[in-house]
Amino acid sequence: MKEDNLKILLAGEGGQGVQVIAEILNNTAYKAGLESIYIPNYGVEQRGGVSLAYLQLSKNPIAYPKFKIADILVVLCERAINRVKNYSNRKTKIINGIGFVEKVEEHNLSPRTYNMMILGLLTEFLPLDNGLVLKTMEEKFKKKNIPAELLNQNKQAFLLGRGLAVRLPRYAKKLASVPIKDHRKWPTFVKTSSDKPKITIKINPQYCKSCGICIYKCPTNALHFSEKITGIYGAPITEVDIKKCIGCGMCESVCPDTAIEVEKEKS
């Protein structure tokens, strides 16, 4: 572990399994011989409130259970943003789990396995053996006597998260990088246009959640994550290589937050 003390904050809605992720990581760290402290914060979870999990991993004794700034911030729902925004700075690695909400259903897995997919993605940034994390997860669920089919789906979701981290390093690594510029210092729209044919792409950094859906749906690979501009979570927004863009409007149609506008002049 490079960091003397790795501070992780997970935030999501009640029922998303935020505490389960933290418990599994806490138990895995113990098995790996690391120091670990986990503090749950349920708030008004039963009323649909935000559930928080504070987790610290270290090779050395941990002096204090609380922290002000997270090294890694995992956000699973929009309503958690305001609740945790003060726990991040420009060095915080932000993992936007919201962009992966539909991934489990796309792979015919139960929505209840969403948190295990996020766990698999998160392990990309942790000094823990993936096999040990998976084993700890299995042990926890077997104690709860969950059905064998659901246990198997949770394992598949974990591996799906690992696959997303491995196969989509551009997304995972960009979210882990330090943003260069805050979107609040930029105009409302970042506008890119070409002349032949006349295509104009407008991207609103204040709406972009860096989910990456537009990037992976683009038929010409014209979209990529910015190395200069950040969006609402402090993660890189989408940018366009206008030379590759054909103005099909696919990005606009799949964007869940209407952050992209495509205008193509009719010939």
pLDDT value, residue 9: 95
If one compares 232 and 155, the residue with the highest pLDDT of the two is 155
pLDDT value, residue 187: 45
pLDDT value, residue 109: 86
pLDDT confidence band for 192 (50 / 70 / 90): low
pLDDT value, residue 7: 96
pLDDT value, residue 190: 58
96-149 per-position pLDDT tens digit: 787 677 788 888 888 889 999 999 989 988 999 989 999 999 999 988 888 888
Residue 231: pLDDT over 80: no
Question: Which two tokens mark 240?
Answer: 């366009």
> What are the extents of the domains in the chain?
5-176, 183-264
Q: Which of 215, 193, 188 is closest to 265 using CA atoms?
A: 193
18-40 per-position pLDDT tens digit: 999 999 999 999 999 999 999 99
* Mean pLDDT in residue range 157-170: 72
Q: What architecture is domain 5-176?
A: 3-Layer(aba) Sandwich (3.40)
Question: Which two tokens mark 44?
Answer: 């008004």
Task: Kindly tell me the burial class for residue 232, based on how many C-beta atoms sit within 10 Å of its own C-beta (0-12, 13-18, 19 or more).
Answer: buried
pLDDT value, residue 172: 41
Does residue 107 contact residue 160 with C-beta atoms inside 8 Å? yes
CATH T-level topology, domain 183-264:
Alpha-Beta Plaits (3.30.70)
pLDDT value, residue 138: 92
Q: Which of 125, 128, 131 is closest to 74 using CA atoms?
A: 125
pLDDT value, residue 116: 93
If one compares 203 and 266, the residue with the highest pLDDT of the two is 203
pLDDT confidence band for 10 (50 / 70 / 90): very high
pLDDT value, residue 189: 56
At residue 70, φ and ψ (nearest 5 deg) are -90, 145
pTM: 0.64
pLDDT value, residue 140: 92
pLDDT value, residue 45: 46
Residue 152: pLDDT over 60: yes
pLDDT value, residue 174: 42
Tell me the DSSP string of 52-95: EEEEEEESS--S-S--SS-SEEEE-STTHHHHHGGG--TT-EEE
